[in-house]
Amino acid sequence: MTLWEDIYKLFFGKIEKDADFFMYNNVPIEEALAIATKRAKFYLLESISKLTSDCTPDIDFNNYDEVLEVFNIDLTNNEKDLLADLMKEKYFEKDMALLKAFQVKFTTKDLNIASPANERKTFIDMFKEISSENRVKIKRYASRDRITGKLKTIKYVDID
């Protein structure tokens, strides 16, 4: 069995510099962590869907108990890390949607700050890089044995 908490911790480590995820106004630290964990749960479920739709894993990632927040299988460290990486992408994907929804055409002079277009471009480039890296990680994961890490091979004698 693999606890979802193990994956949440990896995810939190990947976004620890993003104070917005962990900060909630006038909320005690324990409650803030509970809120962050609830949000992480949704990102994990979305990540499972992404992984299972983008490749055919050797195990059933949908074999879990959502109430107990546990996989009924033992995930490898690589699988845990892959899910945490996908959670990070899902997290930033939400900001991408907001960025597009609130894309307003103000000039730098209107806002009296540095160019917001540069900040948008930097964020979009970062998101594209995360997405691209995750696609490569999914392909690499799908092409290797989950336990040994060895490349899968096609057994031509099995092909009719």
pLDDT by residue for the chain (160 residues), tens only, comes to: 999 999 999 999 999 877 677 777 788 888 888 998 999 999 999 999 999 999 999 999 999 999 999 999 999 999 999 999 999 999 999 887 766 655 555 555 554 555 566 778 888 899 999 999 999 999 999 999 999 989 998 767 766 5
**Helix H or strand E segment including 5:** helix 4-14
- CA–CA dist 36, 39 (Å, integer): 5
